[in-house]
Structure 1
């Protein structure tokens, strides 16, 4: 299947103008330029590819009603994108943190290395790290293979990531090898992000490149994936099990490559045998008596088996690359959800029945409704209060902030008709965030402590700028609440500013705590006194 079409042939093939609704009018207007890029997947109308526009619309409405926190959705059928949408301030050109969906990309790097003869899945893990050998090598550690890393059956009783993260000066592989291996490798599934890190470390050993560098000419360039970035450990090794950022369409392309058994533009870039092995049921991952859901269908090589004979890569808080071979479909989703199973339930209950074996009659009414819905997706509340008598009294004033871990010295708020500019001064520079009133305002920031992080990041100074979109609202005459969306991550900060007399008290609540309360936030409360 060709992934590139010139504009005229593209529009002709897509049936532009069918039923009075042209192809480009079906998709959000701001996407036109992106849709026609040579390295984009081709686009089509849902019914032409046997997909019900009504089903897609019902799915979007259902996930919104359940407050499942979607940031983007892309549905691909027969190799063609039939629906796509981003909840503002998320957007098609922005990357998104993948969390453990990164694991499937690391597995793919191992597949390329196997094909190139750089290693075998039966190779022993210890053989790659003679310099990190512990004083005593247990029989279980000695027996551990690359395949055991791939299938999460290393023999550890718990995930090894936490001990690795505690090694802030490096040596993660050495730490991994020092940990007890309680069970015989290959016999017991335990989800183990540290195991995926070891795959990354092994790849870098045999290839002399990071996983990101290694995948660039082999995977990213052929698929037209540009600008990917990946977190590293203190030694410069990609974290492997998390930390990759790519765009929603890149996720869809990755799934489409696997759906096509490793072929792209008619060329076999990843061996079909590896695709079969990686996505097959390799090991059980739950007791047989467990009620059926999508986390007990078996596990492959860093891919989960799913219900309905499908498989997926997925990541914390709802990052999905779902491949349905029997339906010739791929579904890419990014989100920050409190219930990952609930999103998949909606896929099975609403989207799956809408995938038909042949083209459907045109449905102009449903197509128009879907187009309008996809074009208007937003995380912005429907109404905000843009004014308060307090605003004019505090606008432009400088508040001296009490000593705090972020080393913020002063803060100020400048209100005008449609936005507020917030400036934080630390010992180095002024950090500015502009919040729209009733709209998102996009910018960048290096504000200390931002963005919130689900997995502790190995931050290097100077901190890079992070994209942020922000809005604010008065929830009472003396309380102004800002929402900062770090829209290349799933996360937001809610900053509640309480004004009283000549003081301001700023309370930070990140969305990680709201979605996963077990992840306690240690964000400081900032208290400032007006000085001018």
Structure 2
């Protein structure tokens, strides 16, 4: 087992992995079907040492990334700490913590719901309650959760349930008068060296628990390595070993939900069991913390992918069989190729020319757009020698983004409902009349492809996201200019 010190860097061969196998894995990840449907970062640890790390530009090592449901594994850890401190037990009824939010006449099933049922996604709900709780009319989310029918006996029916994890966060706040983030900061984040974590909150200031955590790739790796080391980090006990054993075993049988192979191996306390006897925390669109105990390895990844099983399949195909029990002979040539690849990673950029006969005629013109689902009112492109600027007229006003050519130009803009965000963009003329822009919200999973096809005073614009909670279909928007 690896020592519990800070992360050291070594060659893959020194830890029993051929550099060529990691290179094969990376090249498999880069087999895109849609250019922005892609991995964003990876960090592979073996015996406590980082043997490979890389970020696909514009993503980088210091950029936090949305974790989505990988947040749940941190919330589970907070419950483990609270149990160790004697604040609660997993067998406590949920209603115990919410006397003011409980319905006047709770059902027997609601009375039977315990903290363990929240942890193991076995609350007894027949329908996933998160939409009702998070986007309903009641700003008191615990009350909204407790008002919902519990159709089945808790403990008898697995149903993935982000609102249940939110309730764990609310319990921590009830018990400690602290947010989940504040509770975990001295107990977990600071000891692990996780700096400046951010966690989204509900209308009452309660951290979302089941989603909303923003951390870096190395933060994921540190958390996974601490779990691999049974709760110890840098010689300090962070979590009880017994809790880690309990949290990562299969408490719930999740085979009742038809899904991909790595989503029906069992579910613990906010951790998924994997094929091959491993376990992981993960989040929507490809955020992974895979703990491979038998191989003494951890894989941390961030992504914006449509098919999460496909990524795990590539781990099992390329990395798992390559891990040897003993160090391998040094292979400078193979390691050099891997190092060069890792240093040059980038998301795909549009392939084309920096200018076009159309550029001068269309540069700086405002095109008014027809009514569309993106709520965009207009668009304007201005072309220069080293790239362009893209101005989108949104409900927040005109938002201008720098667009590089054969590079990622960075800027900030308010293009979504999350306020001002960092954005990187790259563009090219892909034919004489069409300018294509790849745009990355590079502290999140989202990347989009815009195309602008000019026909005289008319514009045909398309928009295609890499991932979406609604649809990844290409949307076409028409526009017209009068200037």
TM-score range, shorter chain: over 0.9
Partner of 2:158: 189
For each residue in 1:362-418, what CA deviation from the matched residue of structure 2 results, as whole angstroms up to 9, or x when unmatched?
011110111111112111237323221111112123445567787766543210122
SS at match of 1:58: helix
Is residue 275 of structure 2 the alignment partner of residue 307 of structure 1? Answer: yes
Is residue 20 of structure 2 the alignment partner of residue 54 of structure 1? Answer: yes
Partner of 1:476: 431
Partner of 2:447: 492
Partner of 2:135: 166
SS at match of 2:22: helix
For each residue in 1:168-214, what CA deviation from the matched residue of structure 2 results, as whole angstroms up to 9, or x when unmatched?
55121111111111111111111111111111111111111111121
Distance 1:522 1:291 in 2: 26
Partner of 2:172: 203
Q: Kindly indicate whether the alpha-carbon contact (under 8 Å) linking 1:418 and 1:436 is maintained by their aligned counterparts in 2.
A: yes
Aligned length: 478
Is residue 215 of structure 2 the alignment partner of residue 246 of structure 1? Answer: yes
Q: Kindly indicate whether the alpha-carbon contact (under 8 Å) linking 1:503 and 1:530 is maintained by their aligned counterparts in 2.
A: no
For each residue in 1:28-84, what CA deviation from the matched residue of structure 2 results, as whole angstroms up to 9, or x when unmatched?
xxxxxxxxxxxxx21111111111111111111122226562111110011110001
SS at match of 2:419: coil
Alpha-carbon shift at residue 334 of structure 1 (Å): 1.2
SS at match of 2:261: coil
For each residue in 1:413-434, what CA deviation from the matched residue of structure 2 results, as whole angstroms up to 9, or x when unmatched?
2101221112345676542101
Aligned partner (choices 249, 261, 267) of residue 280 of structure 1? 249
Aligned Cα RMSD in Å? 2.4
Distance 2:64 2:436 in 1: 27
Partner of 2:78: 109
Distance 2:115 2:233 in 1: 27
Is residue 269 of structure 2 the alignment partner of residue 317 of structure 1? Answer: no
Distance 1:408 1:373 in 2: 38
Q: Structure 1 pair 466/69, CA: closer, same or farther in 2 (3 Å)?
A: same
For each residue in 1:446-490, what CA deviation from the matched residue of structure 2 results, as whole angstroms up to 9, or x when unmatched?
13xx2xxxxxxxx5xxx5321111011223322222121001111
Distance 2:194 2:428 in 1: 38
Q: Point out the more displaced range, 321-330 or 475-484.
A: 475-484
Q: Structure 1 pair 214/168, CA: closer, same or farther in 2 (3 Å)?
A: farther
Q: Structure 1 pair 66/446, CA: closer, same or farther in 2 (3 Å)?
A: closer
Is residue 479 of structure 2 the alignment partner of residue 527 of structure 1? Answer: yes
Alpha-carbon shift at residue 265 of structure 1 (Å): 0.8
Gaps of 5+ in 2: none
Q: Kindly indicate whether the alpha-carbon contact (under 8 Å) linking 2:189 and 2:195 is maintained by their aligned counterparts in 1.
A: yes
Alpha-carbon shift at residue 327 of structure 1 (Å): 1.0
Q: Kindly indicate whether the alpha-carbon contact (under 8 Å) linking 1:405 and 1:524 is maintained by their aligned counterparts in 2.
A: no
Partner of 1:327: 295
Q: Kindly indicate whether the alpha-carbon contact (under 8 Å) linking 1:164 and 1:176 is maintained by their aligned counterparts in 2.
A: yes
SS at match of 1:132: coil
Alpha-carbon shift at residue 96 of structure 1 (Å): 1.1
Partner of 2:60: 91
Q: Structure 1 pair 520/366, CA: closer, same or farther in 2 (3 Å)?
A: closer
Distance 2:442 2:225 in 1: 25
Aligned partner (choices 35, 44, 47) of residue 10 of structure 2? 44
Alpha-carbon shift at residue 262 of structure 1 (Å): 0.7
Alpha-carbon shift at residue 338 of structure 1 (Å): 2.2
> Given the two structures, how large is their TM-score scaled by the length of structure 1?
0.85
Distance 1:492 1:338 in 2: 12
Alpha-carbon shift at residue 526 of structure 1 (Å): 6.4
Partner of 1:439: 407
SS at match of 1:330: strand
SS at match of 1:76: strand
Alpha-carbon shift at residue 336 of structure 1 (Å): 1.8
Q: Kindly indicate whether the alpha-carbon contact (under 8 Å) linking 2:349 and 2:407 is maintained by their aligned counterparts in 1.
A: no
Alpha-carbon shift at residue 125 of structure 1 (Å): 0.5
Aligned partner (choices 119, 125, 146) of residue 156 of structure 1? 125
Gaps of 5+ in 1: 5-40, 451-458
Q: Kindly indicate whether the alpha-carbon contact (under 8 Å) linking 1:410 and 1:528 is maintained by their aligned counterparts in 2.
A: no
Is residue 101 of structure 2 the alignment partner of residue 132 of structure 1? Answer: yes
Q: Kindly indicate whether the alpha-carbon contact (under 8 Å) linking 1:413 and 1:423 is maintained by their aligned counterparts in 2.
A: yes
